[in-house]
């Protein structure tokens, strides 16, 4: 209960800081510092945002991005949930197996996104598969880290209950690490947005990333800033929803 209260305070604090900086920006650049020209005024960004909808087809691009991003995250979560016994069994019985992916860590994310775009050009399915595997990899890593936080004494006490190995993993072990595991989902969601935008920016065909690429080609600074603020607010809003849902469904389970 106390941990939930602490989490709510932290979330509120971040929101207050965000609102505070927005107010500073509004007052400073819209009303006070009117003669400067390097940083766009809020009113100009609003006008630019309107052009994003009418000229850059923002709504269509946003639909294309979210139609890939959210189902990919949902599918990755379902895979973990359905095969949790298998994943936990492998992680617990084969220590260090997660390190099998270590060689790939020396390649940047940009490399794999570029590779997929070259091999599967203009493919929404390839983008969906790419993001799904990326999120799934992050979830498995998070699952491994959460599993390492459980002491051996806890496992031994669970085994003393004369339960099958499968029930110990799914009923005892999994439920004990669920809060820690799902607590990282907000960060994974944020990183997934970055991944999908970079992927679409490289392909320059669909989604929000393609809008960024188009604005970049036009050297449209205001459009880039306006779009960046909009996406940041959208991510913050979805993260708040995730925090709320996780606190209700996981921490109180």
- Residue 47, pLDDT > 60, answer yes
Q: Which fold has domain 42-249?
A: MetI-like fold (1.10.3720)
Q: Which residue has the tokens 């099958």?
A: 164
- According to DSSP, residue 173 is labeled I
pLDDT band at residue 15 using 50, 70 and 90 as cut-offs: low
Determine which of 7-11, 56-60, 61-65, 129-133 has the lowest per-residue pLDDT on average: 7-11
In contact, 145 and 122? CB cutoff 8 Å: no
- Residue 140, pLDDT > 50, answer yes
Give how far the C-alpha of residue 111 lies from the chain's centroid of Cα atoms, to the nearest Å. Answer: 19
Residues counted in the chain: 253
| pLDDT tens-digit map of 74-85 | 999 999 999 988
Domain ranges for the chain = 1-39, 42-249
User: Can you tell me the mean pLDDT for 219-239?
Assistant: 91
Its pTM surpasses 0.75: yes
User: Can you tell me the mean pLDDT for 71-97?
Assistant: 86
């Amino acid at each position: 209960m106390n941990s939930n209260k602490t989490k709510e305070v932290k979330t509120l604090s971040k929101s207050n800081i965000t609102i505070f900086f927005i107010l500073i920006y509004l007052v400073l650049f819209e009303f006070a510092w009117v003669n400067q020209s390097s940083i766009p005024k809020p009113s100009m960004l609003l006008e630019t945002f309107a052009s994003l909808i009418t000229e850059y087809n923002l709504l269509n691009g946003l639909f294309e991005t979210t139609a890939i991003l959210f189902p990919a995250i949902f599918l990755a979560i379902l895979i973990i949930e359905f095969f949790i016994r298998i994943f936990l069994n492998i992680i617990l019985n084969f220590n260090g197996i997660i390190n099998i992916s270590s060689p790939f860590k020396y390649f940047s994310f940009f490399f794999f996104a570029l590779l997929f775009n070259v091999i599967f050009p203009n493919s929404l399915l390839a983008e969906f598969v790419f993001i799904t595997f990326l999120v799934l990899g992050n979830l498995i890593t998070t699952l491994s880290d959460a599993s390492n936080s459980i002491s051996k004494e806890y496992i031994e006490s669970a085994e003393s209950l004369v339960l099958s190995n499968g029930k110990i993993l799914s009923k005892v072990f999994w439920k004990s690490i669920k809060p820690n595991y799902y607590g990282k989902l907000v960060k994974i969601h944020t990183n997934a947005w970055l991944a999908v935008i970079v992927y679409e920016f490289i392909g320059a065909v669909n989604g929000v990333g393609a809008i960024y690429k188009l604005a970049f080609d036009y050297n449209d600074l205001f459009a880039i800033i306006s779009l960046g603020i909009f996406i940041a607010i959208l991510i913050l809003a979805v993260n708040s929803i995730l925090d709320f849902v996780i606190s209700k469904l996981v921490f109180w389970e």
